[in-house]
Amino acid sequence: MRIAISTGGGDAPGLNAVIRAVVLSAHARGWECFGVRRGFRSIMTGERTNPLDGFLALGPDEVRGITHLGGTILGASSHGNPFRWPKILEDGSVMEVDRSDELVEAFRKAEIGALVVIGGDGSLKIAYELTKKGVPIVGVPKTIDNDVYGTEATFGFDTAVSTATDAIDKLHSTAESHDRVMVVELMGRYAGWIALHSGVSGSADVILIPEIPFSIDRVCQKIMERESRGRRFSIVVVAEGARPQGGDLVLQDEAGVGRVERLGGIGAVVAEEIATRTGKETRSLVLGHLQRGGSPTTFDRLLALRFGAAAVGAIASGRLGTVVVYAPPEVKVVPLADVVGKQRLVPLDSGIIQTARSLGTSFGD
Ligand code: F6P
pLDDT in tens, 67-103: 999 999 999 988 889 999 988 899 999 899 999 999 9
With a cut of 80, say whether residue 20 has pLDDT above it. yes
Domains 2-155+296-328 and 159-292+347-358 alike in fold: yes
Residue 140: per-residue pLDDT? 98
The Cα 281–Cα 179 span in angstroms is 8
Residue 339: per-residue pLDDT? 97
Atom of ligand 1 nearest to the CA of 264: 8
Cα–chain-centroid distance for residue 89?
32
Query: Catalytic: 145?
Result: yes
Q: Helix-strand-coil percent breakdown of the chain, rounded to 5?
A: 35, 20, 40
Q: What is the DSSP letter of 363?
A: -
pLDDT in tens, 145-198: 999 999 999 999 999 999 999 999 999 999 999 999 999 999 999 999 999 999
Phi-psi group of 107: left, alpha or beta (phi > 0 → left; psi -120 to 50 → alpha; rest → beta): alpha
- Percent of the chain residues topping a pLDDT of 70: 100
pLDDT in tens, 349-365: 999 999 999 999 999 99
pLDDT-based confidence at 250, cuts 50/70/90? very high
289 alpha carbon – ligand 1 mean position (Å): 8
Residue 38: per-residue pLDDT? 93
Residue 257: per-residue pLDDT? 82
With a cut of 90, say whether residue 8 has pLDDT above it. no
CB of 118 closer than 6 A to ligand 1?
A: no
Q: Which CATH code, of 3.40.50.460, 3.40.50.300, 3.40.50.720, 1.20.1250.20, is assigned to 159-292+347-358?
A: 3.40.50.460
Residue 152: per-residue pLDDT? 97
CB of 142 closer than 6 A to ligand 1?
A: no
Q: What is the DSSP letter of 39?
A: T
- The CATH architecture assigned to 2-155+296-328 reads 3-Layer(aba) Sandwich (3.40)
Range in 71-85, 159-173, 232-246, 290-304 the model is least confident about? 71-85
Atom of ligand 1 nearest to the CA of 188: 6
Sheet containing 234-239, strands listed edge to edge, beginning at the edge strand earlier in sequence: 206-208, 234-239, 181-186, 282-286
Residues ≥6 apart with Cβ < 8 Å to 34: 2, 3, 4, 5, 52, 55, 56, 57, 58, 110, 112
Atom of ligand 1 nearest to the CA of 240: 8
The Cα 17–Cα 14 span in angstroms is 5
Tell me the β-bridge partners of 181. 234, 282
For the beta carbon of residue 87, count every other beta carbon within 10 angstroms. 12
pLDDT in tens, 133-151: 999 999 999 999 999 999 9
Tell me the pLDDT of the chain averaged across its residues: 96
With a cut of 80, say whether residue 295 has pLDDT above it. yes
With a cut of 80, say whether residue 258 has pLDDT above it. no
- Catalytically annotated residue among 145, 147, 158, 205: 145
Residue 326: per-residue pLDDT? 98
CB of 188 closer than 6 A to ligand 1?
A: yes
Residue 117: per-residue pLDDT? 98
Residue 259: per-residue pLDDT? 83
Residue 265: per-residue pLDDT? 98
Top pLDDT among 33 and 86 is at 33
Which of 189, 209, 193 shows the shortest CA–CA distance to 201? 193
Domain boundaries, the chain: 2-155+296-328, 159-292+347-358
Q: What is the DSSP letter of 241?
A: T
> Got the DSSP string for 70-85?
SS-TT---SS--GGGE
- Percent of the chain residues topping a pLDDT of 90: 94
**3-class DSSP state for residue 99?**
coil
CB of 185 closer than 6 A to ligand 1?
A: no
> Residues 312-339: what's their mean pLDDT?
98
Residue 177: per-residue pLDDT? 97
